[in-house]
Structure 1
Amino acid sequence: MLQLRDLTVRYGSFTAVDRIDLDIPTGSVVALLGPSGSGKSTLLRAIAGLERPATGSITWKGDDMVGVPVHRRPFGMMFQDYALFPHLSVARNVSFGLEATGADDVARRVEDSLALVGLTGLGERPITALSGGEQQRVAFARTLATRPELIMLDEPLGALDRELRERLLREMSDVFRRLGQTVVYVTHDQEEAFAVADTVVVLERGRAVQAAAPDEMWEAPASEFVARFLGFTVVDVTVGEGRASSPWGTLPCSLPSGHHRAALLPDAVSPGGDVDAVVTARSFAAGRWRATVLVGEGPLLDVTVQQRPEIGSTLRIAVDPDGWASLGEPRGDYPTEEIET
């Protein structure tokens, strides 16, 4: 198990990682999720030994890692830019770390690692002859070849297009599961984090504000920051008899009676109900239209529809009564600002 206790990293007077406490069980995949500047990459670098903590501890299987040089930690790390050597072949790139450790079964480990990532038979090919997705696989194979006890990945798919990113994410997840690998995975993408991780840790300004399984976090975000970062719309509501008085008017709601600061899930809005909504914008993706609509005086909402919506037209929408999450006491205002990701 990887354990972090009161871990703090500072750059001068700036605190990049602020008193993090976190347990990562052996064999689990944990995603560090947050916007730019949240401290997720700095936290990863501290675990790797690339940043020295100002305070706190890092232990792996009971052993103190603070002060242990990078090359002596039983960890492997993969960066977004892959850090491949363009003048070396695929096999030589994969074997680079192994040769530095003096391993006596280099050729077999290289072959096994390339097989794991679907590059069997490409060992002699030059790196420059590979596609971006294949280069990503080589970097992943190089990380696996040293057989690290813990793998750390810092935005490993950030430079790839969406379709390739989704395919490689599935492949990497399959490798993690087959090997029973312990993984710390940094990303700013909520869908990526939810797809790969057993536990998602959301960071805000250097602090871990929620750690939960993806489905648990989706159903019950711990704070307004988490809810907004996940794409929820946050408003004040008053609930009674299964209805919520909101800036959008009166809507079905299964929250307990009373006043709430409430988050409406992104997928809680659907077409075909009895609520009038005016289309203010539209976009097309993955074979479907998404309409941005105005309801009452509330924040804009998005709804997926089958037909091309006309700007200025009126749609009838429905709101799932179970699509709300309570964030505590109301604040008395209805902010519409979004968190930059």
Structure 2
Amino acid sequence: MLCSLPTAEASPSVQVRIADLQKSFGAFKALDHVSLAVSPGELVCLLGPSGCGKTTLLRCIAGLERQNRGTIYLGGRDVSNLPPQARDYGIVFQSYALFPNLNVEQNIGYGLTGSARDIVRQRVGDMLELVGLTGSEKKYPGQLSGGQQQRVALARALAPAPSLLLLDEPMSALDAQVREHLCMELRSLQQRLGITTLMVTHNQEEAMLMADRIAVMNQGCIEQYASPQSIYEHPQTPFVANFVGQGNWLSFEGNGSGHAQVGALQLRLAGGVAPRAAGRLFCRPEAICVNPLQGEENLFAAQMREVTFLGNRCRVSFEFDALPGQSLTAEISASQLPSSGTRNIRVALPPSSLQVFA
């Protein structure tokens, strides 16, 4: 498990730098030697299951939790021991945390207390226009939809013009259709403003859709920190492979010939890589070829067991004739689906699609 990642020294090229952060709650270790660097203008998602430490990390950055050890730099400044109000960030919570007794205008302007009234009015108007809520100034949170409340919370966080935006599962209370739409809007807004953003989510689709880079967390550690494409196509640990997307696993033995021996199947690996004595192979469902043209490597006879229709794609469950009792899953376009009643198929596992894990 990767708990510490090399990071750059605090510099203008790094907006957020976390160095060897540790946080425990009694005997429970919430953060275990976490290091992370975020570039200016980047949107980074902290992705992982409940209890993995992602919200604790965000709260430590915000100063809402005090780390036991480690250092936090924002814009090259050590803020490890500063109170939240001295750290120059805006935050949107999962519950939005709007004041129910204040209208939209008052909620957005709350963080501008002390500024001249004309400046506050102008800034609130700018924020309302930015999030598409012009004309809603006098409404109260209870009169707004979930999506509108989220926009108000975002406008309030951005009103003081912070250098860092922190988002704690901001879409979790929304239904799927509204969530996807607001994800795209938020990403577009973040790019237009160029504001460095850290977002906590357990939803891998949100992370894939929005992030420049994703930090996949598990048991208080960062297991992989990379672009969405790299994390999906080249997971570094079994946890990342399992948590992000779907996959198939096959246990193998090395046979001394540069092939992986899976039961009665001999599978060639990319680049002629000699496998370990034993381990597991990982393969994404969409990388498996069903009834391919002749000439494909690792081509074997199989039996279809189940087909799930997914619109323009289908999920096909099958067993290799030479590997009875073990079911694998392929995902293919609906046009590639064998004709009704067909059970005998040919399946290829391209060497480039097979990743070796210990």
One fold, TM greater than 0.5?
A: yes
- Pairwise mapping of residues 270-285 of structure 1 onto structure 2 (< 5 A)? 270-273=289-292, 275-285=300-310
Equivalent position SS for 1:113? helix
Q: Does 1:325 align with 2:344?
A: no
- Which amino acid counterpart does residue 258 of structure 1 have in structure 2? A
Equivalent position SS for 1:194? helix
Do the aligned partners of residues 190 and 255 (structure 1) sit closer, same or farther apart at CA in structure 2, a change above 3 Å counting?
farther
**Please, what TM-score do these two structures have when normalized by structure 2?**
0.81
Aligned mate of 1:300, from 319, 323, 328: 328
The more displaced of 31-40 and 244-253 is: 244-253
- Pairwise mapping of residues 182-221 of structure 1 onto structure 2 (< 5 A)? 182-221=196-235
Q: Does 1:268 align with 2:255?
A: no
Tell me how far 1:198 sits from its aligned partner.
1.4
Tell me how far 1:161 sits from its aligned partner.
2.1
The more displaced of 272-281 and 13-22 is: 272-281
Equivalent position SS for 2:351? coil
Do the aligned partners of residues 55 and 312 (structure 1) sit closer, same or farther apart at CA in structure 2, a change above 3 Å counting?
farther
Do the aligned partners of residues 263 and 179 (structure 1) sit closer, same or farther apart at CA in structure 2, a change above 3 Å counting?
same
Tell me how far 1:243 sits from its aligned partner.
6.7
State the distance in 1 between where 2:145 and 2:313 align: 30
Tell me how far 1:174 sits from its aligned partner.
0.7
Which entry has the higher C-alpha Rg, 1 or 2? 2
Equivalent position SS for 2:224? strand
Do the aligned partners of residues 89 and 325 (structure 1) sit closer, same or farther apart at CA in structure 2, a change above 3 Å counting?
same
- Contact 2:24 2:30 survives alignment (8 Å): yes
- Contact 2:315 2:329 survives alignment (8 Å): no
Do the aligned partners of residues 282 and 124 (structure 1) sit closer, same or farther apart at CA in structure 2, a change above 3 Å counting?
farther
**Please, what TM-score do these two structures have when normalized by structure 1?**
0.85
- Contact 1:30 1:185 survives alignment (8 Å): yes
Per-residue displacement from partner, 1:273-292 (whole Å, max 9, x unpaired)?
Answer: 36444444554445544333
Q: Does 1:66 align with 2:94?
A: no
Do the aligned partners of residues 233 and 20 (structure 1) sit closer, same or farther apart at CA in structure 2, a change above 3 Å counting?
same
Tell me how far 1:167 sits from its aligned partner.
1.3
Structure 2 partner of 1:81: 95
Structure 2 partner of 1:234: 249
- Contact 1:7 1:17 survives alignment (8 Å): yes
Tell me how far 1:299 sits from its aligned partner.
4.7
Structure 1 unmatched runs, 5+: 331-341
RMSD: 2.8
Do the aligned partners of residues 48 and 244 (structure 1) sit closer, same or farther apart at CA in structure 2, a change above 3 Å counting?
same
State the distance in 1 between where 2:264 and 2:143 align: 55
Structure 2 partner of 1:163: 177
- Contact 1:281 1:311 survives alignment (8 Å): no
- Contact 1:219 1:325 survives alignment (8 Å): no
Structure 2 partner of 1:180: 194
State the distance in 1 between where 2:264 and 2:166 align: 44
- Contact 1:242 1:254 survives alignment (8 Å): no
Tell me how far 1:136 sits from its aligned partner.
1.6
Do the aligned partners of residues 317 and 50 (structure 1) sit closer, same or farther apart at CA in structure 2, a change above 3 Å counting?
same
Tell me how far 1:232 sits from its aligned partner.
2.9
For this pair of structures, how many residues does the alignment match? Answer: 327
Structure 1 partner of 2:296: none
Structure 2 unmatched runs, 5+: 1-14, 293-298
- Contact 2:62 2:89 survives alignment (8 Å): yes
Aligned mate of 1:33, from 47, 51, 54: 47
Aligned mate of 1:256, from 252, 272, 278: 272
Do the aligned partners of residues 159 and 44 (structure 1) sit closer, same or farther apart at CA in structure 2, a change above 3 Å counting?
same
Equivalent position SS for 1:259? coil
Tell me how far 1:77 sits from its aligned partner.
1.0
State the distance in 1 between where 2:56 and 2:338 align: 44
